[in-house]
Structures are given as structure tokens and as C-alpha cells.
Structure 1
Amino acid sequence: MTQNNVPGMEASAVSILKRAVELDNIARFQESIVCYQEGIQLLLDVMKALKDESKKAHYREKIRGYMERAEQIKAHLVREKEEGKYHEQIKITGDGTGFSYETLFKPYISETLTEVWVEDPYIRYTHQLYNFLRFCEMLQKASCQVKNIHLLTTQDDGENSSQQLSALAEIRQSLQTFGVTLDIEYSSTIHDREIRFNNGWIIKIGRGLDYFKKPKGRFTIGYCDFDLRQCQETTVDVFHTKHTRSS
């Protein structure tokens, strides 16, 4: 890193660590840990390029404080998980942004994640099928080794029936080229929406995967980047269990 890059790195570190503290303060601990870790690493990289010893000492003290807090949160989360008490709630406000699948699910994805269950009655219409495809793409790009995805949804018995069947069949065939098996089941009584990871995380989204608003036009900001897409108001409840049921 050159000296010219230091100010930008410092600004990024400050921004991420500020977000870590904000998430910490509202008890979104799993997300705050991710931000603490990213911010600390950035500050460590900045320190390597600094020549000002007083500034280095200042950052060294800051890093020590952030690391201590991150370790406290980790210990708290371990206790909560062991006792089966972990529950985190995220409120997505109407018109809120910054809630792409990558952003929302990142704190709960790990290298040990190999199997995912999606229960969502509304994977039927075109935009909902694309949402499920985006979710699968997110898993493919994430730092995990997902080999099996299970989808439980309702079957469209109207004019969109053939589109639903052909779209899901195409997604399944496409996933196979990446070594991922998609198992699809239909239920006429499913109502709850939840996503389960076999690393223990359970994410219940009030609106399921379909919480994004329709863009105002095909060439408006947020059409492609879902972190910039406005959302419908919904609540996300996150739980952790040592034994994620498989069916």
C-alpha cells in the first residue's frame, strides 16, 4: 500500500467500525462482528503503511478496544447458541435500502454451510422466480460449499403453471453444472416462510424472498443492484440451533 492510499483506507475503516458500533448498540451482534473484523483488518493494513509513531499508537489502542469488544460479543453468542436462546430481529423499513441477499445473509454464511432449505409459498411469478435464482447465485458466490438446496413452495395452478415448472427446472439444471443439487417439493398448505442453513442458522423473513419493491423503471438506480433497490416493510427474525432439522 502506498502513502496515497492511506487516507482512503482510513476513511473506509472508520466507516465500517462506526457501522459495527451501531449494529452492536441495537443488538445485531452477528452482523456487528463481521464489521468489527473487516474494520480491524483495514486498520491493521493502514498501520503497516504509517510512519507517524504517535498515530500508530493511537490506532493500536483503538484496535485493542475493538478486538476486546468483538471477543466479548463472540463469547456472548456462543453462550446464547449453546443455550438455544439466540434470537436477533432485523426490521426492514418501507423504502429502505441496503438489504440485498448478499448483505442480509452474509453474517450467517460460513465455510461449513453445505445444505440449505427454503420454505416460501410464493416462488411462482416471474419476479419471484428471479428472486429465488438470485438467492441461488448469492450462495454460489459466497464463502461456503453448498451442494444441496431444498425448495418447498406452492404450485401455481393457473396460467403461470407451465412457466413456474419450466423456470424451476432450468434453475435446477443450471445449478447442476456447478455441482449443486436442487430438490423441489410442492405443498398446498405451506404458509410459513423460513430459510434454514445446516450450520445452525434459521432466518424467517415476513415476506419471504419477495421483499423488494418493483423498480420505477428499467433504467433506474436499483434495477440491477439490489442493495440500492427499495424494500417493502418486513421483519427478519434470526435464530440459531445446534441441530437444524432436515425436513
Structure 2
Amino acid sequence: MTQNHLPGMESSAISVLKRAVELDQSGRFIESLVCYQEGIQLLIDILKAAMNDESKRGHYREKIKGYMDRAEQIKAHVNKAKEDAKYHEQVKIAEDATGYSYEVVFKPYISDALKEVWVEDPYIRHTHQLYNFLRFCEMLLKAPCKVKTIHLLTSSEESDGGQQKSALAELKHSLSAQGINLDIQYSSTIHDREIRFDNGWIIKIGRGLDYFKRPKGRFSVGYCDYDLRECHETTVDIFHTEHTKTL
């Protein structure tokens, strides 16, 4: 890296760390920790590049220490809450909000050791809901984890059960080729919506995976990129437990 790259790196670091502080202040600690770590690494890279400017190096050392101290405080707080089984974080998604793809919502809670996922959602039935579940599975495939089994508990679509079952069978076959087993179960009484990871994280979304609005057209912004798709108003509750129940 050269001195010419510093302005761009500084701008990126400021943006990421500003987001970290905003998330921190709103109580979204896991997401803020991810941003703090990314911002700190950017500052370390800048520090290495500013070899000939000792005043700048001193400034960055001070900033790095401050952000690292806060990151350690957050880690300690989260770990203590997890040990006490009292961790609870809430995110409110406003009507028409964007920027809440499955990557944004779920990735902060995905660890390298994640191997098993449970999805409990009564509305994986209609075409757009089946695509939502497909995108969720694709997100897991791209994430830095080693998921081997995805359990789905949903309700059966009585009016067109053939489409639902054939779509899920196709997805099961496709995931199998990626080394992932999709275990599908149906329930006529299911009501709750939650997603559980075997690393202890539980994510409950008021609308389940179906919190995105219908795109305005097949060639409109947000049709492919869920970060740009408008959302329905909903609430995301995140918990941690030492023991993840099975379906």
C-alpha cells in the first residue's frame, strides 16, 4: 500500500467505525463488534502505510487502542450475558426500509463451527416464500461455516401442495450435491417463527423469512439484490442459549 491509498482507506475506516458506534449505541452489540473489528483492521493497515509521518502514527495508535478497548468491553458483555442465558437483542425493521438482506440479518451470528440449522416457519409455501427459503440456504452456503444439516418445519399448502413439495424436493437434491442434508417436516399446528443455530443463537422474526415486499417489477431495483428490496415492518429478536433444542 502506498501513501496515495491513504485517503481512500481513511474514508473507509471512518465509515465503518461510524456504523460501529451507531450499532453500539442502539444496543446491536454483535453487529457493532463485527464493524469495530473491520474498522480496527483498516486503521492497522493505515498505520503500517504511514511510515514517514510519526504524528499520524501516534494519532492512529490512540484511535486503535480506544476502539480495541470498546470491542473487548462488548465481547465481555456479550459473553457474560450468554453465560447467564440473558442475552437479548432487538432490531426493528421499519416499513419500506432497505438494507436488511439475509446476509445482514444473520451473518453476525454465524460462526466457523456452525453445522446445524433449524428453520421453523409456517409460510414456506407459495412461490415467493420458497424463493426466500432458497436464498436463505444460499446465504448459508456462502457464509464462513460448515453447515451439514438444515431442518425445515413448515405447514403444507393444501391448495397447491404439489408445487411446494416438488420445489422443496428439488432444493433438497440441489443442497445434497453441496454436501448439505435438507430435512423437511410438515405440521398443521405450527404458528411460531424462529431460526436456531447449533452455536446457541436463536433469531425470531415477526414475519419469519417473508419480510420483504413484492418488487415493483422483474426489472426493478431490488428484484435480485435483497439489500435493495423494501421490507415490511417487523421486529427481529436475537437470543442466545447454551442448549439449542431440536424440532
TM (norm. structure 2) is: 0.98
The alignment partner of 1:40 has SS state of helix
Measured against aligned partners, the alpha-carbon deviations of 1:22-54 in whole angstroms (never above 9, x if no partner) come to 111011111110000011001111111113211
Deviation of 1:147 (Å) = 0.2
Question: Partner of 1:68 in structure 2?
Answer: 69
In 2, distance between residues paired with 1:188 and 1:4?
A: 62
Deviation of 1:224 (Å) = 1.2
Amino acid at match of 2:3: Q
Count, aligned residues: 246
Question: Partner of 1:196 in structure 2?
Answer: 196
In 2, distance between residues paired with 1:133 and 1:232?
A: 19
Question: Partner of 1:175 in structure 2?
Answer: 175
In 2, distance between residues paired with 1:98 and 1:3?
A: 33
In 1, distance between residues paired with 2:127 and 2:116?
A: 25
Amino acid at match of 1:118: V
Deviation of 1:2 (Å) = 2.6
Amino acid at match of 1:64: K
Measured against aligned partners, the alpha-carbon deviations of 1:145-177 in whole angstroms (never above 9, x if no partner) come to 00000000000010x211101100000000001
> What pairs up with 1:82-101 in 2 under 5 angstroms?
82-101=83-102
The alignment partner of 2:237 has SS state of strand
In structure 2, runs of 5+ residues without a counterpart are none
In 1, distance between residues paired with 2:181 and 2:4?
A: 47
Deviation of 1:55 (Å) = 1.0
Deviation of 1:113 (Å) = 0.5
Deviation of 1:4 (Å) = 2.5
The alignment partner of 1:199 has SS state of coil
> What pairs up with 1:1-247 in 2 under 5 angstroms?
1-50=1-50, 51-158=52-159, 160-247=160-247
Amino acid at match of 2:157: D
In 2, distance between residues paired with 1:5 and 1:104?
A: 31
In 1, distance between residues paired with 2:18 and 2:220?
A: 30
- Coordinate RMSD, CA, aligned: 0.8
The alignment partner of 2:178 has SS state of coil
Structure 1 segments of 4 or more deviating over 4 A? none
The alignment partner of 2:213 has SS state of coil
In structure 1, runs of 5+ residues without a counterpart are none
The alignment partner of 2:79 has SS state of helix
In 2, distance between residues paired with 1:237 and 1:179?
A: 30
Deviation of 1:5 (Å) = 2.1
In 1, distance between residues paired with 2:72 and 2:22?
A: 17
The alignment partner of 1:227 has SS state of helix
What is the aligned-residue identity percentage?
Answer: 72
In 2, distance between residues paired with 1:104 and 1:39?
A: 19
Amino acid at match of 2:178: F
In 1, distance between residues paired with 2:94 and 2:124?
A: 23
The alignment partner of 2:185 has SS state of strand
